[in-house]
Amino acid sequence: MFLRKQGYPEEGELVLCTVTNIYHHSVFVDLDEYGRSGLIHISEISPGRIRNLREFVAEGKKIVCVILRINKEKGHIDLSLRRVNESQKRRKLSEIKMEQTSEKIVEQVAKKYKKEPKQFYDQVMAAISKEYRELRFCFVDVANGAANLVDLGVDKKSADDLTEMITTRMKPQEVEIRGDLKITSFAHDGIERIKGTLLKIIAEDKEITLKYKGAGAYLVAVKSLDFKDAERRLKKAIDTAQHMMGETVAFERKEAT
């Protein structure tokens, strides 16, 4: 990958890593997107007793980890493998795949112009970097008609060829996050209050899905092309319910798809 993020990742961030060295109580990895190294303690590899780390990891293997702690003064990065669930892993790998697809498009256009791919990539990133920190975000917007490469500063000839390939190859994947919202009320007008709360949630986000499951529980689902946007909208719906109904609201998150 050409992508190299500047600085350090954030605590809680999912990162793609390559296993470099395995010791008795720890595993060292390279953070592919940052060009830095980190450590996974044996306790963060997998739940339960571990007799041999090589049953879980191998040198050269790609793994998705979450950042636990960062000590910038010492340059230390502590990660966890066991705290990454399957849905988080799938999401991160999907993001990486889309970034690689975006870079492949750049490579093919560079080849057409007989340019060095990394140099051409740097030129494109220099043009779009004021608006986008990663290539895939820009190309998804181009595919959706929400961005124009010429307006972003890419020369017209390159922009036209890139756009043609983007619209042909980039098919943005929609993500869905969901959970069970349980609302109870013992007030004399409880049913009306619950109904008003649900209507308020729908009024604030007409694309949100609300389905009654029984026993005061409702399925809440949000779809979006951007995971953070879906997270924001789901949180807003839960906040609305809690604001209107108080402590009678409970929410249980389900796995993202």
The CATH number given to whatever domain includes residue 125 is: 1.10.150.190
195 pLDDT above the threshold of 60: yes
* 75 lies in the same domain as 120: no
Share of the chain above pLDDT 70, in %: 98
172 pLDDT above the threshold of 70: no
> Two tokens at 74?
């010492």
**91-125: pLDDT as tens digits:** 899 899 999 999 999 999 999 999 999 999 999 99
Q: Is 12 left (phi over 0), alpha (psi -120 to 50) or beta?
A: left
Write down the mean pLDDT value for the chain. Answer: 92
256 pLDDT above the threshold of 60: no
| Res 255: pLDDT | 66
Cα dihedral across residues 156, 160, 161, 162: positive or negative:
positive
**131-166: pLDDT as tens digits:** 999 999 999 889 888 899 999 999 999 999 999 999
Let me know how long the chain is: 257
State the total domains in the chain: 3
Among 4-8, 12-16, 183-187, 216-220, name the one with the lowest average pLDDT. 183-187
| Res 173: pLDDT | 65
Full domain range(s) for residue 123: 87-169
> How many Å is the maximal CA-CA distance in the chain?
75
* 62 lies in the same domain as 119: no
| Res 67: pLDDT | 98
* 95 lies in the same domain as 158: yes
* 5 part of a folded domain: no
Count of helices and strands (H, E) across the chain: 7, 9
* 64 lies in the same domain as 137: no
228 pLDDT above the threshold of 90: no
174 pLDDT above the threshold of 80: no
Residue 224 in contact with residue 175, Cβ under 8 Å?
yes
In this prediction, residues 74-87 reach a mean pLDDT of 95
In this prediction, residues 42-64 reach a mean pLDDT of 95
The residue to which tokens 């879906």 are assigned? 230
User: Can you give the CATH number for the domain in which 41 is found?
Assistant: 2.40.50.140
Identity of the residue numbered 29: V
* 186 lies in the same domain as 165: no
Please choose, from the candidates 183, 170, 114, 116, the residue with its C-alpha nearest in 3D space to the C-alpha of residue 142. Answer: 170
User: Can you give the CATH number for the domain in which 196 is found?
Assistant: 3.30.70.1130
Q: Is 72 left (phi over 0), alpha (psi -120 to 50) or beta?
A: alpha
In the listed set 137, 169, 201, which residue is the last one of a domain according to the structure? 169
Query: 228 or 58: whose pLDDT is higher?
Result: 58
| Res 229: pLDDT | 85
